[in-house]
């Protein structure tokens, strides 16, 4: 069975500091990997995805994640965070043939302080 | 493209009443998924539907919960005889056939009093 573990429930960080949100998964088959962001009282927005190809994927707002098959990880990083990055971040996996059926981690609350 | 539309945004029900949550998928999307987010938890898959068919309901509670996606109209998640433990945010997502991750709606926040 698939599972996703986000190792940190809360990550406080100062503005302009780097941040890493950790995600590990377990699966016996190939997976697709995603990061979603949820701002307060809103739905989830897709931040970035790994389907195949290059193991390093980037978003338009400076986040990046690297798929590491040997460590079964998909950690999310940003070299310099902004106050507006304060949100909850969810890592998720799916099997290719299961489309939108996602298994989510527990979420990591990123709090950026001035 | 209006995105995935869910209504109502907030719903308050007394214990024992019925809750009906609606979801209109994005234009061109024929696959609908429902997820539940309990307080302090991540999202849990509930059910996957295509038009007039339930494809996967492995995450649905065995009693009181049902879902449909009729040929015409929105997808409906129905919770009968609600209890306090049903209080949660319910998210709908949709996707086109065989294509990438789903797009989520803004959710319906159900409060049972």
Distance CA A4, CA A25 (A): 4
Contacts of A53 (CB under 8 A, 6+ apart): none
Q: Do B101 and A94 touch (CB under 8 A)?
A: yes
The count of CB pairs under 8 A between chains A and B is 57
Residues in chain B where the model's pLDDT stays below 70 = 1, 98-99
Cis peptide before B64 (omega within 30 of 0): no
Q: A30, A60, A31: which is closest to A48 by C-alpha? A: A60
pLDDT at residue A50, rounded to an integer: 87
Distance CA B76, CA B97 (A): 20
Give the position of tokens 């991540």.
Answer: B42
Convert the pLDDT of each residue in A33-44 to its tens digit. 999 999 987 889
Phi, then psi, of A85 in degrees rounded to 5: -80, -5
> How buried is A33 (Cβ within 10 angstroms: 0-12 exposed, 13-18 middle, 19+ buried)?
buried
pLDDT at residue B24, rounded to an integer: 97
Residues in chain A where the model's pLDDT stays below 70 = 96-98
Q: In what order do the strands lie in the sheet with B75-79?
A: B5-7, B19-24, B75-79, B65-68
Q: Do B43 and A51 touch (CB under 8 A)?
A: no
Nearest C-alpha in A relative to B106: A43
Between positions 50 and 109 of A, the ones with CB within 8 A of B are 51, 90, 92, 94, 98-107
Contacts of A67 (CB under 8 A, 6+ apart): A33, A50, A55, A56, A57, A73, A74
The alpha-carbon gap from B103 to the nearest alpha carbon of chain A, in Å, equals 7
pLDDT at residue B1, rounded to an integer: 55
pLDDT at residue A20, rounded to an integer: 97
Q: CB of A66 within 8 A of CB of A55?
A: yes
- Give the sign of the dihedral formed by CA B26, CA A106, CA B76, CA A39: negative
B93: nearest CB among A100, A105, A106? A100
Name the average pLDDT for chain B. 93
pLDDT at residue A40, rounded to an integer: 85
Region for B52 from its dihedrals, namely left if φ exceeds 0, alpha if ψ lies in -120 to 50, beta otherwise: left
For residue A11 the two structure tokens come to 């990550």
């Amino acid at each position: 069975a698939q599972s996703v573990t986000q190792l940190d429930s809360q990550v406080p960080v100062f503005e302009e500091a780097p941040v890493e949100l950790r995600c590990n998964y377990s699966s016996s088959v190939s997976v697709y990997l995603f990061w979603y962001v949820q701002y307060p009282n809103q739905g989830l927005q897709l931040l970035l995805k790994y389907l195949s190809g290059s193991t390093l994927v980037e978003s338009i707002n400076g986040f990046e994640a690297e798929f590491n098959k040997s460590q079964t990880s998909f950690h999310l990083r940003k070299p310099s965070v902004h106050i507006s990055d304060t949100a909850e971040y969810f890592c998720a996996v799916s099997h290719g043939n299961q489309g939108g059926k996602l298994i989510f981690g527990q979420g990591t609350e990123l709090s950026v302080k001035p | 493209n209006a995105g995935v539309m869910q209504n109502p945004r907030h719903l308050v029900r007394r214990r024992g009443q019925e809750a009906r949550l609606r979801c209109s998928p994005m234009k061109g999307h024929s696959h609908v998924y429902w997820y539940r987010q309990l307080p302090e938890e991540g999202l849990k898959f509930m059910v996957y539907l295509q038009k007039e068919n339930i494809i996967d309901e492995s995450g649905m509670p065995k009693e009181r919960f049902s879902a449909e996606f009729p040929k015409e109209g929105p997808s409906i998640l129905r919770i009968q005889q609600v209890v306090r433990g049903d209080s949660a945010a319910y998210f709908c997502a949709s996707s086109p056939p065989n294509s990438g991750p789903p797009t989520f709606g803004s959710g319906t926040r159900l409060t049972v009093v």
